Every structure is written in structure tokens, then in C-alpha cells.
Structure 1
Amino acid sequence: MKPARLIILAVAVVAAGMAGLLAMRLSGNQTVIVQDAVVEKEPTVDVLVSAANLPVGARLDENSMRWMAWPEGSVVDGFITSSTRPDAIAELSGVVVRLPVFEGEPLRREKIADSSSRILSALLPSGKRAVSTDISVATCAGGFILPNDRVDVIMVRKGDEDNFLTETVLSNVRVLAIDQQIAEAPDGSKSVIGTTATLELTPDQTKVIAVAQQMADRLSLALRSVADAQEEDTSAADHLLSGGDGQPIIQVIKSGEVVKSTSSTANSMQ
């Protein structure tokens, strides 16, 4: 090989080696800067929440309430905050729960009632009435009907030929209490043997059951599935209160049977 080519080859090898060495030094001294992502923390407020699962009729106390940090943007009307009611835990001790509350759920004003010894009236929604009817083990699903269950009210009465007739006079009504019990027993019992059931009714439904109690040989309660709780009541026996033309009627009842029915309009014309 010619000397000139050897010189060129040697120069190329030396240049390549120096270039590689320089590259290694540059990469070894390079500093990598890692920048942490900045996460903005949403401001929070203290909201009063339930510290346990609370059934209808339970009374609040210091052990059943606590403050919890809540995103400020998620606070809605009805929440009780420490900024508006700093002494809420002390103020609400003894208050009755009107609707079921689960652990960690904010205590809304709509779900609690005024602290009062008149618990049942506090549990009644606006426009509703509480009416009691006699029951027994045989007429209330063997004692398995509990407060807050929903039932149909069935009237059993004698017919004209000494036969028995049945009719559903009220449908899908809420049971407020069995005797004086307005919630499940503390021991978790799943049955209650009582003599009276208190039902949550509309004003018109109270009239229906008042007439049915006079006409019936027996009123029975049929327990409904919880899946039917949202169904609308379509079977109220309004005909017990009004005639075919929609006018109120006057009923004469003897020994539990209607012996005479006259329209108030017709009666006023006589």
C-alpha cells in the first residue's frame, strides 16, 4: 500500500476516535432536568356528614355526625357547612332522621326534622296524614310487615247472599309504624307482632279507609315488594266516597253493611 494511503487511513482512524471520545464526554456531562407536574389542589370546605347508617326515626347525636372535607365546587344548597353553622353538631343532637341516611352522606336539611317529642308528626311529609287500623298476625303477613314497608289494604266484607267479597281499597301505601315502633328494632328483628298499623295517606285516602273500616268485617294488609315502591297508586276505592256522577254520597251503614246510598245533590233537591 502506498504511503499516502496509509497516512490518510491513519488520520481517519484518529479523527473517528477523537469524535467518539468527544461525543461520550458531551453525553456524560449532560444534565437532565425533570420538572414535576404542578397539580392545583381544589379548595375544600367542611361539610357535615353522617358517621353511620341511620334509619328513619333515628335521633342524631355527637357520635353519628362528623365534619368531612368536601370539594367547594360540589357543595349544593341544603348542605350544612362549618362556615355557616360551626356549632351544627351540638345544635342537631336529638334531631329526628326523616329519610334513610348512609355513612359518609351529607346531612341535608330535607332529610332531618325538627327536634321534638312529636316524632311521628315530624316524619310525615307535607300534605300527608297518619291513620291507624287494627291488625293481627293473620292480617299483616304473619308479622313480617315492618315500618317503612309498602302495603295494599284489602277489605273483606259479607255479600248479599252471605258470601264474602274482597276489594283492594288502597294500594302502595307506606307503613309509618307498627304499634309505637317507627323503625326496625335495635336488635335487627325482621318481624313485629303488633295490634295496630299506622299508615301514611293522602287526605282522600283517609276518607276511603274510614269508610272501609265501617263497612269491612276485616281489613288485611298485603306486603308489597320493594321493587314496586315507585308505582303510582291507581286502585284507591274512590267509589266509596262518591257516586257515579262524581257527586259526594251519603251512606247509611248498619251492622257494617251499606243499606242506603244517596247523592248529596239528589238529597238537597228533596
Structure 2
Amino acid sequence: MNPVRLLIVLVAAISAIGLAVVMQRALGGKPAAAPSAIAAPVAGKPMTQVLVAKRDLAIGARLTGEDVTWQAWPTEAVNAAFITNGAALPNPEGADKARAAVTNAANDMIGGVDPAKAVEGAIVRDPILTGEPITPRKIVRGGDGGYLSVVLSPGKRAMAVPVTSETAVGGFILPGDRVDVLQTRDTLSPDADGGAGKVTIAETILQNVRVLALDQSTAAEKDAKSIVAATATIEVSPTDAEALTRAKATGPVTLALRAYTDLGGPSGVVGGVARKAPEDSVIRINRGGQTTNTSVRP
């Protein structure tokens, strides 16, 4: 590079540095502040008090004030089915507007009574986990019916069947499990010699039905793995009830426990069992002036 040109560049650089020093001193010796990379804090979101479970609540549990508590919940995430105290927590911005936006059908249901007191005595219809909001769908308030009428699904009926340790999987069937109901009966079948031999028939009457109770136990005791009972109460439809009544009248019934992973299949009466009249499955045989009735499966 030309020495003259190089000298000019050096002089210009020194002049720029000198100008910067002079300007800094003129501003009081403080360097210019760089733009902040941290955003200003955002005002907190409005919160609403929601009634939640303090502990895990099983089906059939009767609620007390010790089972529920209030918990702050983001107002914008409050579902209409949640039970609230009708007020939002203090918030610098938008609290009144957020309060007005919260519509709560559950509070309408309790008729203006303190929600925490209104649920006392209610029966749990579906399991509720710790911290889960209490909703009308999962509870039925006291006075709306007894345990069985509360936990029965709409359109269903409760029926009791006699069981033993042998016919109830050794007592390992518990309330809430799903079972198949099998009927066993003896009948006569013609043999090769022209006589009649006894034949035992086992038939699945109902499949994938829910066990509501064993004797008067609607839930297994803590850490209990089995219940030996004399009666099992199961949930059936009206058509299932007819099929089960016919089955109980013609032979003993056995409960077969279904796997937990096999609960999503069809539920209720199997095949044409419900429509099959007794006379449709009986053959009358006349032999030597004697008439015998033989039950057969189609």
C-alpha cells in the first residue's frame, strides 16, 4: 500500500477513537446502555378457585368436607362442569372481566348453596383422583338414591346371582371387575343303543358385564386381593336380566373373570340366548310309550 495512503488511514482511525473518548466524557463517562434482552414481566393470569379432591376417591365413597378442598385454577381453563366459588383471585389486570367470563353450570346445579357444603354426603359415581376437579357427572348428591341406584348406568338393572369360591374364580373377582356368566345344565342325549345318556352342556349367557358388589361389599378393603362371597350383584340390561333369569332357573351359573385388557368388547347377552324360548330348545322323544323332553343347543 502507498505509504501516504496508509498514513491517512491511521490518522482517520486515531481521530475516530479520540472522538469516541470525547463523546463519552461529554456524557458523564457512562457508556451507552445496550438494549435489554429480558422482557418485562407479564402480569399474572386471572385464577379461579375450583373444588378438587384432596385424596383418591373410589366408586361408592360418600363425600365429607375432609375429602375436598379449593385450588387455584387458570380462569381461562375453567370448564363449565367445574364447581367454583364464583370468584377469581386478585389480579392486577382483567380479573373482573375474567370473572364475568366464567360460566358454571355446576354452580347452577347446587342452587346457590356453598359448593363445599353442597357436595357433603354425595356418592362418588366414577373414580376421582387427587387434585381432580369435582364435577356433577362423577358424583350424585345425597338423597338422590342409594348406592346401587346411583352407580348403575342409565338403562341398566342390578341382579344378584349365587356364587361360591369355586364359581367365582376362588374369590379373586372383585367389585368393578368384568365377567362372563356361564350356565351349566344336564340333559339327555340319545346314544347308539337307542337309550339316552346324560350330557352336560355349558353355555355363555352374558359377556363382559360389570360386577357391582359381592355380598354387601361395594369395594374391596385396602390391600385385599380377594373376596369370598355368597352373592354377586352384576349390572345388566333388561334383556340380559331375562336371559339370566331363565339361566338361573335351569341350572347353576358360573362367573368367568375377564382380563383388564379385554374390557372393550361387546357387553350383554350372547347370540340368540335372549330370544330363545324354552320350547324352542326342547325335543320331545316318544319311546316305548314314554315321552321324554331333551334340551338341545341350536
TM-score norm. by structure 1 comes to 0.79
Q: What is the aligned partner in structure 2 of residue 236 from structure 1?
A: 270
Of residues 53, 56, 72, the one that matches 2:56 is 53
Aligned-partner residue type, residue 179 of structure 1: D
Of residues 203, 208, 229, the one that matches 1:167 is 203
Q: Deviations over 1:92-114 (max 9, x none)?
A: 11211011111111111011013
Aligned-partner residue type, residue 54 of structure 2: A
Q: CA deviation at 1:26?
A: 4.8
Q: What is the aligned partner in structure 1 of residue 117 from structure 2?
A: 90
Q: What is the aligned partner in structure 2 of residue 102 from structure 1?
A: 129
Work out the CA distance in 2 between the residues paired with 1:179 and 1:12.
Answer: 102
TM alignment of 1:1-270, pairs within 5 A: 16-24=13-21, 26=23, 29-34=31-36, 36-83=39-86, 84=107, 87-116=114-143, 118-160=146-188, 161-185=197-221, 187-216=222-251, 218-233=252-267, 235-236=269-270, 238-239=272-273, 241-243=275-277, 259=293
Work out the CA distance in 2 between the residues paired with 1:15 and 1:149.
Answer: 90
Work out the CA distance in 1 between the residues paired with 2:225 and 2:21.
Answer: 79
Q: CA deviation at 1:37?
A: 3.4
Q: Which moved more, 1:221-230 or 1:173-182?
A: 221-230
Q: Deviations over 1:16-48 (max 9, x none)?
A: 434213335657521234263353533222111
C-alpha spacing 1:166/1:21, structure 2 compared with 1 (3 Å):
same
Work out the CA distance in 1 between the residues paired with 2:265 and 2:134.
Answer: 27
Unaligned runs of at least 5 residues, structure 1: 253-257, 262-270
Aligned-partner residue type, residue 83 of structure 2: I
C-alpha spacing 1:33/1:16, structure 2 compared with 1 (3 Å):
closer
C-alpha spacing 1:220/1:37, structure 2 compared with 1 (3 Å):
same
Q: CA deviation at 1:141?
A: 0.7
Asked whether the 8 Å contact 1:171–1:236 carries over to 2, the reply is yes
Asked whether the 8 Å contact 2:182–2:205 carries over to 1, the reply is yes
Work out the CA distance in 2 between the residues paired with 1:147 and 1:120.
Answer: 12
Work out the CA distance in 2 between the residues paired with 1:86 and 1:71.
Answer: 23
TM-score norm. by structure 2 comes to 0.72
Asked whether the 8 Å contact 2:187–2:294 carries over to 1, the reply is no
Percent sequence identity is: 35
DSSP 3-state at the match of 2:166: helix
Work out the CA distance in 1 between the residues paired with 2:268 and 2:232.
Answer: 22
Work out the CA distance in 1 between the residues paired with 2:279 and 2:156.
Answer: 24
Work out the CA distance in 2 between the residues paired with 1:118 and 1:250.
Answer: 40
Work out the CA distance in 2 between the residues paired with 1:81 and 1:141.
Answer: 45
C-alpha spacing 1:19/1:170, structure 2 compared with 1 (3 Å):
same
Aligned-partner residue type, residue 87 of structure 1: D
DSSP 3-state at the match of 1:138: coil
Aligned-partner residue type, residue 90 of structure 1: K
**What is the aligned-residue RMSD (CA, Å)?**
3.0
DSSP 3-state at the match of 1:211: helix
Asked whether the 8 Å contact 1:43–1:72 carries over to 2, the reply is yes
Task: Report how many residues are paired.
Answer: 243
